[in-house]
């Protein structure tokens, strides 16, 4: 059977999930749930356009060639296969849990704190962001923006092409943006926190030994120090100009870029509220990358320092 576009992306996504989980401590326990996802997406791909199905009103096979054809009922063609697959995977997980112990560490000892003390791997991205931002910003604001952004996708996306199926050609920029934000940025933070952060949350390359006695000089300074600003009021004004200027100039640049790529007619149909929301969320995502580069390359701690909050 020829591999359809849906089948191709389903396999690529599923294999990526499995490979990601294999490189995480304790990943062997999570392989089976990921295989379950692989099988479920594969079943969906088989029911997608290009797969052979059976007409419920006749015994003749019908070939669905695309979204324009008559629709096929989810029940029983898809739900039945998903239910049987779920039962099989559940039984397999029960047998697996009886035969293999979970990779737990020693019982907690209040007199001995592990160094480094790390969160579960799926929270290591947040813990790594604490290196670059204040706790309120890394642990509350940025995750809230992620949730709000995911909720806003149906409101932001006005592209009618590809409804009901996934196609890279219809949404190149959207898919690449998600790939940057999740697969590159978020997954990279998890990998850094897992493999490159050692005792004292110091940076250790893979070939270096984790030495608990390693001491690194704290040479981080705020951005206004680099420009000779020393007073508290001057630091607040300087930081406000930099942060607000970043969002204003970034929004203008995004507007001009979208108009150049999509045209003024698309911008009018999209609407200014959708554009402002998209620009705000995208610039916040890019600010994480910029702040990481500034910390590693220039030892910049804060861009905007105030007596109450810091950015």
Per-chain mean pLDDT for the chain: 77
**What is the spatial distance between Cα 38 and Cα 41, in angstroms, rounded to a whole number?**
5
pLDDT at residue 25 greater than cutoff 90: no
Asked which of 53-57, 97-101, 106-110, 154-158 is least confident by mean pLDDT, the reply is: 53-57
240: Cβ–Cβ under 8 A, 6 or more apart, which residues? 304
pLDDT value, residue 123: 87
pLDDT value, residue 251: 94
Q: What is the arithmetic mean of pLDDT over 4-11?
A: 48
Can you give the pTM of this predicted structure?
0.66
pLDDT value, residue 69: 57
Burial class of 152 by CB neighbour count within 10 A (0 to 12, 13 to 18, 19+): middle
Which tens digit of pLDDT belongs to each residue from 163-181?
666 677 777 787 888 888 8
Confidence of residue 264 (pLDDT cuts 50, 70, 90): confident
Q: pLDDT over 90 for what percent of the chain? A: 9
Q: What is the arithmetic mean of pLDDT over 105-123?
A: 83
Which tens digit of pLDDT belongs to each residue from 270-303?
889 999 999 999 999 999 889 988 888 888 888 8
DSSP annotation string for 110-122: TT---SS----GG
pLDDT at residue 50 greater than cutoff 80: no
pLDDT value, residue 67: 53
Map out the domains of the chain as residue ranges.
1-103, 117-298
**What is the spatial distance between Cα 295 and Cα 199, in angstroms, rounded to a whole number?**
19
Q: pLDDT over 70 for what percent of the chain? A: 75
């Amino acid at each position: 059977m020829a591999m359809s576009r849906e089948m191709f992306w389903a396999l690529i996504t599923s294999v990526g999930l499995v490979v990601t989980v294999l490189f995480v401590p304790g990943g062997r326990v999570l392989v089976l749930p990921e295989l379950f996802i692989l099988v479920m997406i594969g079943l969906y791909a088989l029911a997608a356009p290009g797969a052979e199905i059976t007409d419920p009103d006749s015994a003749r096979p019908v070939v669905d060639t695309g979204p324009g054809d008559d629709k096929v009922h989810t029940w029983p063609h898809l739900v039945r296969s998903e239910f049987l697959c779920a039962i099989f995977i559940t039984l397999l997980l029960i047998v697996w849990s009886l035969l293999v112990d979970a990779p737990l560490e020693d019982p907690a000892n209040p007199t001995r704190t592990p160094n480094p003390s790390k969160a579960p791997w799926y929270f290591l991205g947040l813990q790594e962001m604490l290196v670059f931002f204040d706790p309120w910003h890394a642990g509350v604001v940025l995750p809230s923006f992620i949730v709000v952004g995911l909720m806003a996708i149906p409101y932001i996306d006005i592209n009618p092409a590809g409804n009901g199926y996934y196609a890279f050609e219809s949404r190149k920029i959207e898919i690449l943006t998600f790939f940057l934000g999740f697969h590159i940025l978020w997954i990279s933070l998890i990998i850094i926190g897992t493999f490159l952060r050692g005792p004292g949350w110091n940076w250790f390359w893979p070939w270096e030994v984790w030495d608990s006695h390693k001491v690194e000089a704290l040479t981080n300074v705020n951005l206004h120090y680099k420009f000779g600003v020393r007073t508290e009021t001057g630091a607040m004004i300087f930081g406000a100009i930099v942060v607000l200027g970043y969002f204003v100039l970034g929004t203008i640049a995004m507007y001009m870029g979208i108009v150049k790529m999509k045209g003024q007619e698309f911008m009018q149909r999209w609407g200014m509220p959708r554009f402002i929301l998209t620009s705000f969320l995208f610039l916040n995502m890019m600010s994480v990358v910029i702040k990481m580069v500034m910390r590693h390359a220039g030892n910049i701690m804060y861009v905007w320092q105030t007596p109450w909050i810091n950015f």
